[in-house]
Amino acid sequence: TTARTARLRVWRGDSGAGELVDYEVEAHEGEVLLDVLHRLQATQCPDLAVRWNCKAGKCGSCSMEINGRPRLSCMTRMSTLPLDEAITVTPMRTFPVVRDLVCDVSYNYEKARQIPSFTPEAGTEPGDFRMMQQDVARSQEFRKCIECFLCQDVCHVIRDHEENKEAFAGPRFLMRVSELQLHPEDTADRRAISQDEFGLGYCNITKCCTEVCPEHIKITDNALIPLKERVADRRYDPLVWLGSKIGLR
Ligand code: SF4
């Protein structure tokens, strides 16, 4: 195989301080960036911190920013990166750095825990209800999520605004709220908490999350906009509001 020398500019540091450090590393034909980072570890800096697991785009571990774009390093072919300039590799910017390319993503797990779980009618047993195929398909699309958190990383609401993290769950978790709200057998009304606890109103549907999703989930069109429509129904339609008060829906 043909090899070339890749120039990498890798962020090295920890929660206190860090800097971009230049390296020259061999890159072989057909390799992805994660291969080259592993070679860097093996040949020059054994202490380079990189999180990874499956190397097949399914575990969601090797999220980082490559030339400023949130991406999975195992799915980024070297052949798609410009050869004539240094490739900048930095940790996800939205989350606190632990070391080098590894972030502390526990914010995401905290948000996940706050979402009230699936709530079917009391007494419903498995197999009791039938769902339309389109409802099944919707959940299936959302469940392709590998929790790489690239959508959370790119989202401008929290990317440079630490202060918004408390009030905003991010696209991945608003998608989970939407999945449950749109589920025909879920009895909980999640419209108020979408807005009040998970910050749906912060989202101005710029679709940055959809663009970076490695699973090509249409987060904005299929999860966030339908959730916004239902929240708007409840807020601004007086009949819907009255109906909800007297128990019609
Ligand atoms: Fe990653 Fe897509 Fe899931 Fe967001 S929705 S965490 S980008 S797989």
Question: What is the tens place of the pLDDT at every residue in 193-204?
Answer: 999 999 999 999
Nearest Cα residue to atom 7 of ligand 1: 213
| Rounded Cα distance, 152 and 202, in Å | 13
| Rounded Cα distance, 196 and 191, in Å | 9
Question: What is the tens place of the pLDDT at every residue in 4-17?
Answer: 999 999 999 999 99
By percentage, how much of the chain surpasses pLDDT 90? 87
Nearest Cα residue to atom 4 of ligand 1: 151
pLDDT for position 139: 94
pLDDT for position 242: 66
pLDDT over threshold 70, residue 245 = no
| Rounded Cα distance, 114 and 198, in Å | 9
Residue 69 in contact with residue 60, Cβ under 8 Å? no
Q: Give pTM, 2 decimals.
A: 0.91
Match 């004539």 to its residue by tokens.
Answer: 84
Question: What is the tens place of the pLDDT at every residue in 71-130?
Answer: 999 999 999 998 789 999 999 999 999 999 999 999 999 999 999 999 999 998 888 888
pLDDT over threshold 90, residue 216 = yes
Give the end-to-end CA distance of the chain in Å, rounded to a whole number: 64
Grade residue 246 by pLDDT with cuts at 50, 70 and 90.
confident
Which H or E run contains 71? strand 69-72
9 in helix, strand or coil? strand
ipTM of model = 0.97
* Ligand 1 centroid, distance to 241 Cα (angstroms): 33
pLDDT for position 107: 98
| Rounded Cα distance, 70 and 172, in Å | 15
Cα dihedral 52→73→166→109 (10° resolution): -30
66 to 12, 76, 91, 166, 171: CA distances (angstroms): 14, 9, 9, 27, 21
* Probe residue for ligand 1, chosen from 61, 71, 141, 148 as the CB with the greatest number of ligand atoms within 8 Å: 148
pLDDT over threshold 60, residue 236 = no
pLDDT for position 243: 67
Nearest Cα residue to atom 3 of ligand 1: 145
- Pocket, ligand 1, Cβ cutoff 6 A: 145-151, 172, 212-215, 217, 219
Each as own residue / partner, the long-range contacts of residues 68-75 (CB below 8 Å, 24 or more positions apart, any chain) are: 69/212, 70/150, 70/153, 70/154, 70/212, 71/150, 71/212, 71/214, 72/148, 72/150, 72/214, 73/32, 73/33, 73/34, 73/37, 74/32, 74/33, 74/34, 75/32, 75/214
pLDDT for position 60: 97
* Ligand 1 centroid, distance to 219 Cα (angstroms): 8
Question: What is the tens place of the pLDDT at every residue in 21-61?
Answer: 999 999 999 999 999 999 999 999 999 999 999 999 999 99
Grade residue 247 by pLDDT with cuts at 50, 70 and 90.
low
| Rounded Cα distance, 201 and 199, in Å | 5
| Rounded Cα distance, 42 and 128, in Å | 55
Nearest Cα residue to atom 2 of ligand 1: 213
| Rounded Cα distance, 141 and 216, in Å | 9
